[in-house]
Amino acid sequence: MIRKYFGTDGIRGRVNGETMTADTALRLGTAAGRYFRRGEHRHRVVIGKDTRLSGYMIEPALVAGFTSMGMDVFLFGPIPTPAVAFLTRSLRADIGVMISASHNAFEDNGIKLFGPDGFKLSDNIEYEIEQLMDAPTSELVPSAELGRAKRIDDSQSRYIEFAKRTFPRELTLDGIKLVVDCANGAAYKVAPTALWELGAEVVSIGVQPDGFNINQDCGSTNTQTLADKVRAEKADIGIALDGDADRLIICDENGNMVDGDQLMGVIAGDWHRRELLTAPGIVATIMSNLGLERYLQDSGLSLARTQVGDRYVVEHMRQHGFNLGGEQSGHMVMSDFGTTGDGLVAALQVLAVMKQTERPVSDLCRVFEPVPQILENVRFNAGVPLENEDVIAAIRAGEQKLGNSGRLVIRKSGTEPLIRVMGEGDDAVLVQNVVAEIVGTIQSVAA
């Protein structure tokens, strides 16, 4: 199944480039509206967005498509992706839409779709919607049946209250000083508010979006500003979200970063001790560190791996009864609370363990020693580098060198024109050499 528009996480691309245009958004709204029209009830769509300038272009195009199919549209404005998933179910909507390119720079944007159950759509449904996008439109409603659009003022407060309810009732954040970096993105209002209302002393950065500065030298993919602020403020913990706040990276009191693998280990260990895991393990992707897998095995837990993308993590969790999963990049899915990755809720779970154990983050969030891991990205302009014979031979040679002491993951990015080369193993020098050889081969082919 080859999809034309959808990638790993919805439709994404450079704004006004080949894919991410107002026309694409219009056709997507029309096609998704057509697909999800079921029954005679008044259909409802909810739309959230991050703070990118292009949201002002994409949002009205989507509204035009949905209303042309007789669907009413509720507009939330800037709000995290997990809030859209939550409100899709809470407001009994037929479709949820998030306009965001997540951690990408402002020049990019994307569109993520959620079904009425609040879960991201399957590959098969996305493929069917793609077929409708390119098909002649023959089911537009009569003019008297057009949908209406309106702004919803209480969407942020609804989500704040939801997030706060995931924090243990018997605890508060009194005595905790934290820095939260909202990446100048979708959570710039809700995250500091929720944390402050739970009792924390909150220092906020990345909360002055201007349409251009989302993820710019801030957020979960640019953590130096957060580390510096944590040290300067002598804070207990730093919390970094990405542009749409569905992922989390933590900074300890010394300014050292803690990735999603360590955070999954913290939450898994806590839930295991409290008998809250619904299955004897967690779900992560092929990118998660081998050290996490070994830590879980020593605790009597398993690590199920999926392809990259929190959507695939969620699918495996639903199929096999897991209630905890995530990605090394910071997506963490806790199905007891929500249907998709939620950076704020994940942060609250870590803060809860921190309060219960009274341990500093530097101790609490170092649950395993990571196996040396190297990730390199190789940009390409055209062609299919991974099908080149020289590249295939280089990958096979690397796998033989690593043997049973390590592993390779080489894949095309689902959101950018990149080949991602990841290698890990107990011998750091060997891993570095293997990755360098593969990267060099790909670069020579992709030049």
Q: Looking at the annotation, which residues are catalytic? A: 102
- At position 312, the amino acid (one-letter code) is Y
Amino acid at 196: W
The rounded Cα 194 to chain-centroid distance in angstroms is 20
Do residues 82 and 122 make contact, with C-beta atoms less than 8 angstroms apart?
no
- The rounded distance, in Å, linking the Cα atoms of 345 and 4 is 33
- Cα separation, 147 vs 56, in Å, equals 20
Measured from the Cβ of residue 21, the count of other Cβ atoms closer than 10 Å reads 18
Q: Rounded to an integer, what distance in angstroms lies between the CA atom of residue 117 and that of residue 129?
A: 17
Contact at 8 Å (CB) between 282 and 303?
A: yes
Ordered alpha helix ranges (H), 211-289: 224-233, 260-273
| Strands of 217-316, DSSP E | 237-241, 248-251, 257-258, 281-285, 302-306
Cα separation of 183 and 369, whole Å?
Answer: 29
